[in-house]
Amino acid sequence: MGLPGRALARRALGDVRARTAAFSILFLAIAVANTLGYRSTYPTLADRRRLAFTFGGNKAARLFYGTPHGLETVGGFAAWRAGGILTIFAGFFGLLIAARAFAGEEESGRFELVATGALTRRTAFGARAAALLVALATVWLATSVGFAAGRLPVGGAAYLALSVVAVGVVYAAVGALASQLIVSRRGALELGGLALGIDFLLRVVSDTTSSQWLHWATPLGWAEELRPFADPQPVVLVVPATAALILSGCALVLAERRDVGIGLLRSDGGARRPRTRLLGSPPAFAVRSERTTTAVWSVAVAAFGIVVGAISKSVASGLSPSLRQRLAEIGQADVATPRGYVGLSFLFFALAVSLYCCAQVAAARHEEAEGRLETLFALPQGRTGWLGGRMGVAAGGAAAISLAAAVGTAIGVAVVGADVSTAGLLEAGLNCLPTSLLALGVGALLFAVTPRHAVGAIYGLVSIAFVWELLGALVGAPSWLLGVSPFDHIGSVPASPFPVRAALVMVVLAVAAASGAAVVFRRRDLVGA
């Protein structure tokens, strides 16, 4: 790869650096929290055997985490609990960065300039693929460090991280191929997301029935068959590597043969009547643009909520006696109940809704970077009205996702008959909003003050705050230092009362940040990509 190719690779890597940093921090935090948390919660072999007996045949737990192997060991638990959810995140990360590197460049028109220069299409494709591999390697390194920090053997930690990131490699190739079929970032993400959804469905069927052979038809299943810390099968790595090479090869062939800016799946122009709904105002257009994204987030969160509710009784009954006594001594006995487990789980829902708000800040920045606002503001449309409408739509989406979390969890607890009230779950959903609105307000302020760095900054702040909430509690940090993180103030609803005062403070801070954003945005120049 010559100098122009290396320059393009650096540019592509720079475009995804914020997402790479955010996912790296998230993966590291989940790896550390699961390993250290397991050691603390199940300190004896008897406790760990009880856990394996409780969850070994629990089909509800397999929905998101897969088939458990070796739950009586720290490595086996980490491979099941952390690895099971991280493989899904890795697939999404691969799609996200591939759509940005391939479809995003063409959609913006920048690739036309690149294609007319010193680079061939093959070299340009290779440069962007190399950048994606560096991003995935960064996430692998962070995940390995997280598992190793949880005192797993270094070699085993690296292998477990590799089983996770292998899924991301496959879906990066899926995203590259989808970007040749639909030359828009949103379209490529939706097509790749459909593939990931089918993959997940097949893996669920495989893990909850006797159809184990379906594992070999899906990347998520291949990750399970690698069996970290439970009779490892590294030869299985050949399967995702081969699939990634084949998909990338197909994407390269299409990239060399099609016209720039025109994907293989193009509409025939006049066959359908124009759809003009939700085009009457910028906020309505924002609803139109983000409705699919919001629906996907809501369905995913609701599905995870069903799993949380369905296993709440099993988790509570599986806690060790020593841990129950320790929780009672510190006044946290409710954690050893279904309500307590649900309350702790909603901390992760709060993170999900906050990340959705970060994505909405990124969407607003994308509109500015693509030059759309220059035309819009030349019309009778004020800057404050546009930003306020955009943030209002984001807040509405956050509320919808929070409600989906509550409804999904309510369905799960109803199925198993857990003692958790629907009203309490609605409060738990409401409890997700203060931190997410604060993230949205701070993100809007960063967007107004430093638009080029806003997206990476807000993703980083949310990730760091969440990581500190997890790790600070594990290392025994003082309460005043834990309080630096907004996630420390949301409370364990429904096990504890809704924290009205803390919620009001965060909402007031969010409104103040958003108001400051409106003032600054009204006065600054528009900034392109």
pLDDT band at 441 (very low <50, low <70, confident <90, very high): very high
pLDDT at 283 over 70: yes
Peptide bond into 494 cis (omega under 30): yes
Contact 178, 62 (CB under 8 A): no
Distance, CA of 149 to CA of 74 (rounded, Å)? 13
The answer to which of 48-57, 497-506, 512-521 has the lowest mean pLDDT is 48-57
Tell me what pLDDT residue 436 has: 95
The answer to which of 117-126, 233-242, 293-302 has the lowest mean pLDDT is 117-126
List, for residues 133-186, the tens digit of each pLDDT value: 999 999 999 999 999 988 899 999 999 999 999 999 999 999 999 988 887 777
Which run of H or of E encompasses 134? helix 121-149
Tell me what pLDDT residue 325 has: 55
Amino acid in the structure at residue 240: P
Residue 142's contacts (CB-CB under 8 Å, 6 or more residues apart) are 24, 25, 27, 28
List, for residues 23-70, the tens digit of each pLDDT value: 898 899 889 888 887 887 777 787 777 777 766 666 556 666 778 888
Contact 187, 103 (CB under 8 A): yes
pLDDT band at 268 (very low <50, low <70, confident <90, very high): very low
Tell me what pLDDT residue 116 has: 58
The 8 Å CB, 24+ separation contacts for 402-405 are: 402/349, 402/353, 402/429, 402/430, 402/432, 402/433, 402/436, 403/429, 404/297, 404/298, 404/299, 404/301, 404/302, 404/305, 405/301, 405/302, 405/304, 405/305, 405/346, 405/349, 405/352, 405/353, 405/429, 405/432
User: Interior CA angle at 482 toward 478 and 486, to 5°?
Assistant: 160
Distance, CA of 64 to CA of 179 (rounded, Å)? 28
Distance from chain centroid for Cα 114? 31
Amino acid in the structure at residue 184: S
Tell me what pLDDT residue 57 has: 61
Q: Pick 251 or 283 by higher pLDDT.
A: 251
Q: Pick 361 or 320 by higher pLDDT.
A: 361
Tell me what pLDDT residue 163 has: 94
Tell me what pLDDT residue 50 has: 75
109 Rama sector, left if φ>0, alpha if ψ -120 to 50, beta otherwise: left
Tell me what pLDDT residue 112 has: 58
Average pLDDT over residues 501-519: 94
Give me the helix-helix angle, 451-474 and 338-369, nearest 10°: 160
Give me the helix-helix angle, 74-101 and 121-149, nearest 10°: 160
| R_g of the chain, CA atoms, integer Å | 23
Contact 182, 265 (CB under 8 A): yes
374 half-sphere exposure, CB direction, 13 A CA radius: 7
pLDDT band at 475 (very low <50, low <70, confident <90, very high): low
Contact 463, 443 (CB under 8 A): no
Tell me what pLDDT residue 245 has: 96
Distance, CA of 393 to CA of 400 (rounded, Å)? 11
Residue 55's contacts (CB-CB under 8 Å, 6 or more residues apart) are 61, 68, 71, 311, 314, 318
Average pLDDT over residues 254-263: 73
Contact 481, 412 (CB under 8 A): no
Average pLDDT over residues 87-105: 87
- C-alpha closest to that of 527 among 287, 289, 392, 364: 364
The listed range with the strongest mean pLDDT (4-8, 109-113, 338-342) is 338-342
Amino acid in the structure at residue 390: R
Average pLDDT over residues 232-237: 92
Distance from chain centroid for Cα 293? 13
Q: Mean pLDDT of all residues in the chain? A: 83
Distance, CA of 167 to CA of 89 (rounded, Å)? 9
Amino acid in the structure at residue 340: G
Distance, CA of 186 to CA of 103 (rounded, Å)? 9
Token readout for 290 is 């983000």
Q: What percent of the chain has pLDDT over 90?
A: 30
Strand boundaries in 266-355, DSSP class E: none
Tell me what pLDDT residue 59 has: 59
Distance, CA of 507 to CA of 429 (rounded, Å)? 15
How many other C-beta atoms can be found within 10 angstroms of the C-beta atom of residue 430?
16
Token readout for 456 is 């990476």
Give the SS3 label for residue 517.
helix
- C-alpha closest to that of 150 among 223, 85, 235, 74: 74
pLDDT at 489 over 80: yes
List, for residues 383-424, the tens digit of each pLDDT value: 888 889 889 999 999 999 999 999 999 998 998 888 888 999
Percentages helix, strand, coil for the chain (3-state, rounded to 5) are: 80, 0, 20
Distance, CA of 269 to CA of 221 (rounded, Å)? 40
Average pLDDT over residues 440-449: 94
Tell me what pLDDT residue 490 has: 85
Contact 255, 181 (CB under 8 A): no
Tell me what pLDDT residue 330 has: 38
